[in-house]
Amino acid sequence: GESVGLHLPTLSVQEGDNSIINCAYSNSASDYFIWYKQESGKGPQFIIDIRSNMDKRQGQRVTVLLNKTVKHLSLQIAATQPGDSAVYFCAEKGGAQKLVFGQGTRLTINP
Amino acid sequence: EPEVTQTPSHQVTQMGQEVILRCVPISNHLYFYWYRQILGQKVEFLVSFYNNEISEKSEIFDDQFSVERPDGSNFTLKIRSTKLEDSAMYFCASSFTGTGGAGYGYTFGSGTRLTVV
């Protein structure tokens, strides 16, 4: 069945350092992936997406890398700030309209 | 920035009662969704709705659940005869196109925390 998983449940980094959050997916036919940020008490917030015909996509302070060979997705956050503390989910297009979410990684920024 | 609005933010109900969770999607969006998140777990898809009908649903979305777009702005999730295991955060989302389409803009609301006692 479809599944999207994360390598690490928690990640702590120093403020100003770069963060890398990883995600493995199982459906080799998936053609669209998204990273979401979820702060406490809020809904998932779109960060960045990538289609399967790309290997890399950059946004503001964020980069998503897609390795289709090993079915791996990563989110890089540059110069992390206290406001980056949240749970990060990867999600893949699992059907015509639905998203399949991974378990989530809690990112903590240490001052 | 346009947002998806959900009410109430927290709902407590007794087991066996019916609840209706309400959502106002972004006004020019055409696709509407409900997801749920049990505490500490991942977000799970429940149902998608397009052109006034369900377009896709998960195994979770059984006969206990129903969705409706009663007018041009609201989108509701009804849970009949609630069970303890229905306690979760329920998120509404909307998008202009289907998942992965151009102008995707899949936007989630802040959720309704449902507690069944």
CA A25 to CA A45: how far, in whole Å?
A: 20
Give the per-residue pLDDT at B41. 85
Token digits of residue A67: 């390795």
Q: What is the dihedral of CA A18, A19, A24, A28, to 10 degrees?
A: -40
- What is the pLDDT, as a whole number, of residue B103? 43
Cβ-Cβ contacts under 8 Å, A91 against chain B: 43
pLDDT at B68: 96
Average pLDDT, chain B: 91
Instruction: Identify the pLDDT of residue A2.
Output: 46
| Per-residue model confidence (pLDDT) at position A5 | 54
Both structure tokens of B57: 């649903």
- Say if residues A74 and A64 touch (Cβ distance below 8 Å): yes
Strands A62-67 and A4-6, by their bridges, are unpaired
CB contact under 8 A, A104 and B42: yes
C-alpha closest to that of B35 among A38, A30, A108, A10:
A38
pLDDT, position B101: 55
Do β-strands B107-108 and B5-7 pair in parallel, antiparallel, or remain unpaired? unpaired
B39 has a chain A CB within 8 A of its CB: no
Cβ atoms of A11 and A106 within 8 Å: the answer is yes
Give buried/exposed letters for A21-55 (b at 16+ CB in 10 A, else e).
bbbbbeeeebebbbbbbbeeeebbeebbbbebeee
Q: What is the pLDDT along chain A (111 residues), one digit of tens a residue?
A: 445 654 458 999 999 999 999 999 888 888 889 999 999 888 999 999 999 999 999 999 999 999 999 999 999 999 999 999 999 999 998 777 788 998 889 999 998
Flag if A89 and B42 touch (Cβ within 8 Å): yes
Select the residue of A41, A45, A96 nearest B98 (Cβ to Cβ).
Answer: A96
CA distances from A95 to A14, A30, B76, B104 (A): 38, 9, 22, 15
pLDDT at B97 over 80: no
Identify the pLDDT of residue B99.
Answer: 61
Omega before residue B8 within 30° of 0, cis: yes
Q: Any idea which residue has 């998983």 for tokens?
A: A5
Distance CA A47, CA A37 (A): 7
What beta strand segments (E) does A1-111 contain? 4-6, 10-14, 19-25, 32-38, 45-51, 56-58, 62-67, 72-77, 86-93, 99-101, 105-110
B8 vs B16: CA distance, rounded Å: 19
Q: Report yes or no: B56 at the A interface, CB cutoff 8 Å.
A: yes
- Residue B55 CB neighbours (<10 A): 17
Q: Residue B105: pLDDT band by 50, 70, 90 thresholds?
A: low
pLDDT tens per residue across span B57-93:
999 999 999 999 988 889 999 999 999 999 999 999 9
pLDDT at B94 over 70: yes
pLDDT digits 0-9 by tens, B14-42? 999 999 999 999 998 999 999 999 988 88
**Cβ–Cβ contact B96 with A under 8 A:** no
pLDDT of residue A110: 93
